[in-house]
Amino acid sequence: MRILPAIRAPLAVLAALVVLALAGGARAESFVDGFEDLPLMPGLQQSTDSTTLFDSPYGRIVEAYASGPTTPAQVLDFYAETLPQLGWTRSANAEFRREGETLHIAFPRPPGGASGLVVRFEVSPD
């Protein structure tokens, strides 16, 4: 059976979401606001008041923050396992690429010496 290219990509995303839903352990319950298909790692809470969205003719720029009691290694392991199922390819330790966009994952210092890990997600055009 031949699947048209316009249908293949949405089917791949749907299949990846089904895999995520059925997988144990590294399963996400929700998605990061501003990203239609970036799962929020279990244990992280998003800071919804700090999400930035910008659309231009050259592509979108999205920046969002989350925090929680985890480590950078655990965050990167989760996304290294999860994102390829959604079409992202890892291009560096904390960087993924897909369809002309780059996702950067960073770990800025918590404000005011607060405890816990802060995770910054940023998508920008290549």
Read off the pTM. 0.74
Q: Mind listing the pLDDT tens digit of every residue in the chain (126 residues)?
A: 445 555 544 544 444 444 444 344 444 469 998 888 899 999 999 987 888 888 888 888 999 999 999 999 999 999 999 999 999 999 999 999 999 999 999 999 877 766 789 999 999 998
For 57-83, letters b (16+ CB in 10 Å) and e give eeeeebbbbbbbebeeeebbebbbebb
d(CA 69, CA 60): 30
d(CA 49, CA 90): 28
